[in-house]
Amino acid sequence: MSSTRRALATVAAAALVLATGWSATAQENTPPPDRGIYQVTGADDAQARTEVARTGVDVLGVRDGTMEVVASPAQARTLRDAGYAPRLTGDFDAALAAQSNGPAAADDFPAGDEGYHTYDEMVAEVRAAAGDHADITSVSSIGSSFEGRDLPLVKISDNVGVDEDEPEVVFTCNMHAREHLTLEMCLRIVNRFTDGYGTDETVTGFVDGREIWVVPSLNPDGAEFDISGGEYQGWRKNRQPNSDGSVGTDINRNFSYKWGCCGGASDSPSAETYRGPSAGSAPEVASAQEWVSSRVIDGEQQITAHIDFHSFSELVLWPFGHTYDTVTEGMTQEEYDRFSSVGTEMADANGYTPDQASGLYITDGDINDWMWGEHKILSFCFEMYPSGGGLDGFYPPDEDIVEQTTRNDSAVDVLLTHAG
Ligand code: 0X9
Ligand code: CA
Ligand code: CA
Ligand code: CA
Ligand code: ZN
């Protein structure tokens, strides 16, 4: 195991503290829950973690060779058949219910977390930014979600109405429904580069010299579903129905570059990492791909750099995710070294751990592999705060929003610098 791999294995999940009381006897005598939380030991290297992830389980975190996953009874059996000894530690749905304080108000986050933005609040926020800073900010759309919600696209630049010859940089957030902190990250970027224009020298320089694009939510249907009923749902995928009656495609397994190539996604519709029936079958993915492709002008992709924000584990990850190889088809040594050096510089800025994405586990059809593989865009995945945790890792209290989004200001600036 390389030292980076070892560092990675130790960064993620601390043990989840649950009051659901799963004793050894309960494990033997009661049928396992529909969504059980399991500790899987022996996941010491990326190959083992890939093998576990490949069963389609929902990986909550990794620590010291132990993976914490949410698994169906069938997935738990598959793990046992593969020689693992998954230990049931809780019931995912009971844990969600226990965490709930009831709704604060209709259509809002659960009580105590109202500081997070709902879809409508996000739309209002970006429109207000554009209204207050019309000379440098405009709001348009990359398309619609499965349920028909608009997917807003914010542009921030001097002479915003003109397509100038300036490096274009994209930030995308919230493709995984429950990763709500990431939507706040995109809003932080919008507010910082609009409010700070003319007073903050760094901000002013980037707004004048770049065209900054922000897509605050790639999965509004999933995010709204996740907060429906006043209780978090632990939802990850979009809300597109599948042929077997289950719901949802994993947006981060549905992109077209080497889709389904390498066992880094599930072909089982009910799995949390379901890749969809075909590449780009999720409307959110089709919209994102079409818009990014529309930035190819006179044969040249205008976008040079991108961050897709996720949570959690505090990682800076770069392509490829579909292979353990550093240098391979579509990635020269020089290109890999550039990813590694910019990624490490960003990680130095925010205190995250840098690595190639496959160092965590193999994925195929993810957004970063597509951005680089298809468009040669310098594309990173940030896994935000916290560094570890169980289910609660997706739901840090709203009091953490300011600290954990401003924490990435300088890393964002590093990317904007290298985009030039
Ligand atoms: O699995 C994912 O899509 C990302 N993690 S998350 O917990 N936010 O779902 C990680 C994608 C990074 N790429 C690879 N590990 N290859
Ligand atoms: Ca609070
Ligand atoms: Ca401009
Ligand atoms: Ca341009
Ligand atoms: Zn994610």
Q: What is the pLDDT averaged over residues 130-149? A: 98
Write out pLDDT tens, residues 172-190: 999 999 999 999 999 999 9
Sign of the Cα pseudo-torsion (297, 412, 275, 242, in order): negative
What's the length of the chain?
A: 420
Q: What is the pLDDT averaged over residues 36-53? A: 94
Distance, in Å, from the CA atom of 156 to the CA atom of 109, rounded to the nearest integer, reads: 28
Percent of the chain exceeding pLDDT 70 equals 92
Residue 284 a catalytic site member: no
How does residue 303 score in pLDDT terms, banded at 50, 70 and 90?
very high
Does the pLDDT of residue 7 top 60, yes or no?
Answer: no
Ligand 1 atom having least distance to the Cα of 250: 3
Write out pLDDT tens, residues 327-382: 999 999 999 999 999 999 999 999 999 999 999 999 999 999 999 999 999 999 99
Does the pLDDT of residue 90 top 60, yes or no?
Answer: yes
- Strand pairing partners for 381? 308, 317
Question: Which chain residues have CB less than 5 Å from ligand 4, an ion?
Answer: 163, 211, 302
| 163 CA to centre of ligand 4 in angstroms | 4
Q: Assign 363 to helix, strand or coil.
A: coil
Longest dimension (CA), the chain: 67
How does residue 17 score in pLDDT terms, banded at 50, 70 and 90?
very low
Domains of the chain with CATH codes: 3-99 (3.30.70.250), 119-418 (3.40.630.10)
Secondary structure tally for the chain: helices H, strands E: 14, 14
Residue with tokens 């066992």: 263
First-to-last CA distance in the chain? 36
- Residue type, position 355, single letter: D
| 361 CA to centre of ligand 4 in angstroms | 35
Residue 391's pLDDT is 87
**357 CB less than 6 Å from ligand 1?**
yes
Q: If residue 285 lies in a helix (H) or strand (E), which one and from where to where?
A: helix 283-294
Axis-axis angle for helices 367-375, 283-294 (nearest 10): 30
Q: Assign 69 to helix, strand or coil.
A: strand
Does the pLDDT of residue 257 top 80, yes or no?
Answer: yes
| 171 CA to centre of ligand 4 in angstroms | 16
Instruction: Out of 329, 383, 399, 403, pick the active-site residue.
Output: 383
Does the pLDDT of residue 237 top 50, yes or no?
Answer: yes
- Of 187, 250, 245, 254, whose CA–CA distance to 222 is shortest? 250
Ligand nearest to the CA of residue 398, numbered in listed order: 2
How does residue 13 score in pLDDT terms, banded at 50, 70 and 90?
very low
Instruction: Answer whether 270's CB lies under 8 Å from 72's CB.
Output: yes
Kindly report the average pLDDT of the chain as a whole number: 92
Distance, in Å, from the CA atom of 294 to the CA atom of 82, rounded to the nearest integer, reads: 44
How does residue 9 score in pLDDT terms, banded at 50, 70 and 90?
very low
Q: What is the pLDDT averaged over residues 279-304? A: 98
Residue 103's pLDDT is 63
Q: Please give the model's pTM, rounded to 2 decimal places.
A: 0.89
Ligand nearest to the CA of residue 400, numbered in listed order: 2
Q: Which residue's CA is the closest to the ligand 1 atom numbered 2?
A: 252
Buried/exposed 282-319: b ≥16 CB within 10 Å, e otherwise? bbbbbbbbebbeebeeeeebbbbbbbbbbbbbbbbbbb
Sign of the Cα pseudo-torsion (225, 231, 233, 234, in order): positive
Q: What is the pLDDT averaged over residues 394-401? A: 98
